[in-house]
Every structure is written in structure tokens, then in C-alpha cells.
Amino acid sequence: MNKLEANADHFTTDRARMAYIENCLAGTASDTIDPYVSNDHPDPVTTSDGLLDLIWHEWHDPNRLEVAKDEYNELEMKSGSDDYIEFKNNFVRLAGKVHKPKSEWIDEFRRKLHSSFVTAMMPAFLAPDATFESIAKYGQSIARNFAQSRQRREARKDRKPVAGAKKNA
């Protein structure tokens, strides 16, 4: 359901629906549509359905499924990546776009993680009651632990020995 349907009582005429659609557009989209809603255009758009059709034809990507499949196939969490949540959200978004059955998400997700992350997450993957959601949540904890470890290593590496300081035996 879209806003035009949900608030049909606010858009009682087709002209009101067209005005709402036009007001939602900005920038290039608005510039592209403006000539078509002008009365002096050779083939003007005169209905809200016509305007929605025009918008659809101008910006609909007929290859969107193939593009999503390519993105999904290329998606992987690289070693040293800090943004687990971004990776997980991209996985969910793309799995939905390519209509991947949710029953396959756990195996696919594991396949796309880097090996040290998979190793750290094995308890979640092997849990008898594992769901994608429980695994994803466990992954957030692992990502936080990895980030903290990396920060500690970098802090130790950045420390410089103090001149004249004695080393502990």
C-alpha cells in the first residue's frame, strides 16, 4: 500500500493525486517530468496513473534482478572488515532481492564470511536451535570483540618505549 492508497480521503481528485506525486519529485526527476505535465507538451500526461506509468518507464531498471544477483554473488565479508552490520544488512537486502529462500540463508551467510569470522561464530552455527536472526546477533558480538582486539593491538603498536625506562624481567 502506498500513501495515495492509505490516504485516499486526502486525495479525492485525480488532480490532487497528480499534485502530490509531482511534489514528491525533486532534482533530475522533477526536471524530467515537468515538460510532460505541462499543457503545451505534444503528449501531456493528464492522469495520476499516467504520471506513475511515466515515472516507472523512466526509472525502472529491467535488469534489476540480474544486477542484484551479481551483487549477491560478489558479496563477501573480507578479513579485517570492521562493518559486520553493513555486511549483514547488505546480505539480507540482496537475499531478498534475489528471492533466496530463507531456509538457505544460514549456509549462504556462512559461505560469505571470512574464515576467522566463521571459526569464531561456530558455536552459533552449530547450535541446534540456530536461526538466521540468532546467528546474525551472535555475529555482532564477535564483530565487536574483533574490533576491540584490533584497537588494542594498534594501541600497543603505537606506544613508544620511554627513554631510560627499565624493562620488566
46/100 same-domain check? no
| 21/81 same-domain check | no
**In the structure, what pLDDT confidence band is assigned to residue 7 with cuts at 50, 70 and 90?**
confident
The whole model's pTM is what?
A: 0.70
Same domain, 71 and 33: no
Report pLDDT digits (tens) over 96-114.
999 999 999 999 999 999 9
Q: Which runs of consecutive H residues, i.e. helices, occur in the chain?
A: 3-6, 14-24, 27-33, 48-59, 64-74, 84-97, 105-112, 115-126, 132-158
Instruction: Note whether 36 and 90 are same-domain residues.
Output: no
Same domain? For 40 and 79 the reply is no
In a domain, 34, yes or no: yes
If one counts the domains in the chain, the total is: 2
Report whether pLDDT(168) > 90.
no
Residue pair 130/137 in contact by the 8 Å Cβ criterion:
no
CB 110 within 8 A of CB 118: yes
Contact present, 36 and 45 (Cβ < 8 Å): yes
